[in-house]
Amino acid sequence: MAASSSTSPLYNRLLSELKPLHDRLFDDVFKYGSPTTVERRSRSQAFHPRAAAYFGALNIDFYIVKTRSQPDTDRMFSEDSLVSEELKRAAMTYNRCKEGAVALSPALEKMFGGDLEVESVKQFNVDVKPLLHLFLEHEVGHEKIVTHDIFVIRAKNGSSFVFDPTGYQFGFNNYLWTYDEYKSRFVNGKPRPVCPEEEARTRSSAAWAK
């Protein structure tokens, strides 16, 4: 897939048009949940043998997401939380890429169906190269290697882009990238198309299609 400069008119158009979907995902879905804290995980803590080599080779910071024992709100983070914005976004999107895809797929289909510049929007599954990694408290000692779902937007001019509104869980600091930049920086191996059956289940959800 060809890359397009991040300063291209199409990139800027997509960045602008996708932002309301991105923001709504955080406002309507991701900010809610049990109140949490995020703490740095010691590198001396052992990983499960099935994933020890993988995580041991990563030169990144690890964090543990802990639920507060007496929640007093349905938001994960209060306005006076001392957790950094980066880690707030990471915790809010942790392990929620499929949930995000189900919520967004109908809206993306509606937004770009018949578009003069966009040829297709497809869901892909990738092996990521994380910049940070979170674990829920109960996952410590039971870790496993995870994969990640993204949307690839292919334009009629040959350029392609990645829409990844849940990449914050791995420390990715944007929601739209050129395909080549995203693949070179954040992906191991080749992206895999999501199976037709799962795509059909995703499309059948009318979550945000109205």
Task: Domain of residue 20: give its range.
Answer: 9-204
Residue 2: inside a domain = no
Residue 210, in any domain of the structure: no
Does some domain include residue 37?
Answer: yes
What's the CA gap between 165 and 43, in Å, rounded?
28
pTM over 0.75: yes
Domain assignment of residue 68, yes or no: yes
- Does the residue 93 lie in any domain? yes
The C-alpha atoms of residue 163 and residue 182 are separated, in whole angstroms, by 10
Helix count and strand count (H, E) for the chain:
6, 8
For the chain, how many structural domains are there in total?
Answer: 1
pLDDT at 198: 64
DSSP string spanning 121-142?
EEEEEEEE--SEEEEEGGGTTS
* Per-residue pLDDT tens digits of the chain, which is 210 residues long: 444 446 799 999 999 999 999 999 988 888 888 888 899 999 889 999 999 999 999 999 999 998 876 656 678 887 778 889 999 999 999 999 998 998 899 999 999 999 999 999 999 999 999 999 999 999 999 999 999 999 999 999 999 999 999 999 999 999 999 999 999 999 999 999 997 566 556 555 544 444
With respect to residue 192, please indicate whether it lies within any of the assigned structural domains.
yes
